[in-house]
Amino acid sequence: MKTTLSAMALVLSATAAMADDTVTIEFAYPYSHLFDVTYEAMMPAFKQAHPNIEVKFRATYESYEDGTNTILREAVSGNLPDVTMQGLNRQQILVEKGIAKSLEPFIAKEANFAKEGYHDAMLSLSTFDGDVHGLPFSVSLPVGYYNMDILTEAGVDKLPTTWDEVIGACETMKANGVDNPIFWGWSITGNWFMQALLWSQDKAIVEDGRVKLDTPEALAALEQMQEIFTKCDMQNLEWKAALSSFSAGEIGMMFWSTSALGAVERSQGDFELVTGPFPGMGETPKGLPAGGNAALFTSTSEDPKVQEAAWAWLKFITSGEGAAEVAKTTGYMPPNKAANEVILADFYEQNPNKQTAVDQLPLLRDWLAYPGDNGLAITQVIYDGIERIVTGDATDMKELQEELVEEVNDLLPTS
C-alpha cells in the first residue's frame, strides 16, 4: 500500500508540475466556416510537439475588416490576443500603430529558418521597413466555380474566358429556364473584385498614396460590373447565402475566392463541380490581387514563456506541416515552399479544382490597402457604391465614378 501511495503521489506531483508548466496563449482568426476545420486538423500535431502549450481560441472575426476593427479596439482596451490572423491588405495599419510586433528577434534565434520555406518572396508580403512582422498563412486568387450539370443542360458547352462570354452564358442559361445563372462576388472583403478588375487591366487602385478611381480603367471596371449584374439578372444575395445556394446546385456560375473551395466541396450537392481561371475584360487578365492572410504577433505579455509559446504557435501554423493543412481543408494556397514542394508534391495533381488558382500564380499582384487611418472607411465607400450598381440605384457609371472620387478624396490623408 505504501508503494502504491508513493507511486500515486509521484504521479500527482508530476501532473501538478506539468500543469504549472502549461502556458496559455490566445489566438483569433476570421471566417470560421473556412478555417475551423483547418485548425482542428492542425491541433493534434501541435499538441504532440508542444504538450505544455494551450491555445485558447477567441470568437472568430466575421471578415478581415471586422478583424482589423476588433484588434484596433482591443489595443485601446488592453485586451489583445497573442496571435491574430489579419488580411494581407490590413497588416500595414497594425504595424504603423505598433500593434503588430516585429518577428525579427524570434527569427534571429532560429537555425536555418529559410529552409522551412520562409524565403524572401513569401516574407515580403508581411515585411515593412525591412522587418518581418507576419508570416503569410494562406494565399488566394479569384476563380470561377461552375455547375457543369446546369451549364451542360442549358447548352453552354465551354467555360468562359472573358466577361462577355460569361454574359453570353448567362443569357443562354436564362433562355433555357435557369432562374439564377450567376453570383459574382462584388461584396467580398476589401473591394477585392474591384481591384481584380483594375489589375486585369494592369492598373493599381492605389498609386503614390492616392486612390486612383478617376482613371479610365476604374470607369471600365464600374461599367463591366454593371453589365454583369444587369445582363445576367444577378440576384442580390448575401454572400454566405450565395455560397450555400451554389453548393446546393441552384446557381450555374459563381465567381469567388478559391478560399471557399473546401467549404463548397464539403457541402456540395449531387452535381459536377469544375473550377476555371478568372475571366478577363476582353482578354486574359494581366494581373490579379493576392488575397489571404498572415499571422501577426500582437501579444502584450512580458512573460518570456508566453512570448515563446506564441511564437511556437505562429511558426507551426505557417510551417510546411501547418500550411499543408490549409491546402487540404480549404482552397487557399500555402505560401510556404516546404508545403508546396515536399508535403503537397502530388496533391494538386489529384485535386485539379485546387490547381486552378496555382496556375494563375504568375498573375499575382498586391492586394492594396487604402492610405491613412480612414482605410476601412474608404473600403466601405467603394462597397456602398458597388452595391448601388447591384440594386440598380446607380445607373450612370460616369456619375457614380465622380461621386466615389469625391468621397474617397475627402477621406485621404491631407499631408
Write down all domains in the chain, each with its CATH number in brackets. Answer: 22-140+291-361 (3.40.190.10), 142-289+370-411 (3.40.190.10)
Q: How confident is the model at residue 20 (pLDDT cuts 50, 70, 90)?
A: low
Q: How confident is the model at residue 125 (pLDDT cuts 50, 70, 90)?
A: confident
- Percentage of the chain lying above the pLDDT 90 cut: 80
Q: How confident is the model at residue 122 (pLDDT cuts 50, 70, 90)?
A: low
Q: Does the pLDDT of residue 26 top 60, yes or no?
A: yes
- Residue 76 dihedral angles phi and psi, to the nearest 5°: -70, -40
Residue 369: left (phi > 0), alpha (psi -120 to 50), or beta?
beta
Q: How confident is the model at residue 158 (pLDDT cuts 50, 70, 90)?
A: very high
Closest CA to 121 of 287, 325, 356, 366: 366
Q: Does the pLDDT of residue 8 top 70, yes or no?
A: no
- The Cα 337–Cα 343 span in angstroms is 9
187-198: buried (b, 16+ CB within 10 Å) or exposed (e) per residue? Answer: bbbbbbbbbbbb
Closest CA to 374 of 68, 52, 125: 68
- The Cα 396–Cα 261 span in angstroms is 35
What is the average per-residue pLDDT within 316-330? Answer: 90
Q: Does the pLDDT of residue 12 top 80, yes or no?
A: no
Q: Is 19 helix (H, G, I), strand (E, B) or coil?
A: helix
Segment 174-184, tens digit of pLDDT: 999 999 999 99
What is the average per-residue pLDDT within 159-184? Answer: 97
Q: How confident is the model at residue 121 (pLDDT cuts 50, 70, 90)?
A: low
End-to-end CA distance of the chain: 80
Q: Would you tell me how many other CB atoms lie within 10 Å of the CB of residue 383?
A: 18
- Residue 281 dihedral angles phi and psi, to the nearest 5°: -90, 80
Question: What does pTM read for this prediction?
Answer: 0.87
Q: Does the pLDDT of residue 9 top 90, yes or no?
A: no
Cell of 395: 445607373
Closest CA to 289 of 345, 166, 206: 206
- The Cα 372–Cα 159 span in angstroms is 41
Q: Which residue has the higher pLDDT, 184 or 111?
A: 184
- The Cα 136–Cα 296 span in angstroms is 9
Closest CA to 85 of 96, 76, 94: 94
Average pLDDT across the chain, whole number: 91
Closest CA to 143 of 352, 380, 386: 352
